[in-house]
Amino acid sequence: MNSITTLNERNPITRRTGAGAPNIVIREACDRDGVVLGHLVASHDGTPEGIVAAARRATQRMFDTFADASNVNSRIIATDTTGRPRWSVSPNFAVLEELAVE
């Protein structure tokens, strides 16, 4: 799996169902002005510890890839086993919050 890609390039079903790849963390790399620089993806095992570890890996790749990346402006989302966004991870990795599910 490429570390920099858009979800729609990797999974065309995303456009129709809103679901992406299962058990991944997506780091949306943005600069200080909020301009999206790219997306970084890392797989996780579904545990809180695994999600945070994947978020840390994606963040390290973000800083290695984008010199202008802003930690605070770059979102971190994790998907569940169905590929739907399920958790948000804070930029300092201290808070893992479950998203509202419809």
What pLDDT does residue 72 have? Answer: 96
Each domain of the chain, given as residue ranges in start order, spans 7-98
Question: 4-62, pLDDT tens digit by residue?
Answer: 444 444 444 444 455 689 999 999 999 999 999 999 999 999 999 999 999 999 999 99
Residue 3 pLDDT exceeds 60: no
Please report the DSSP string for 8-63 in residue order.
HHH-TTHHHHS---SSEEEEEEE-TT--EEEEEEEE--SSHHHHHHHHHHHHHHHH
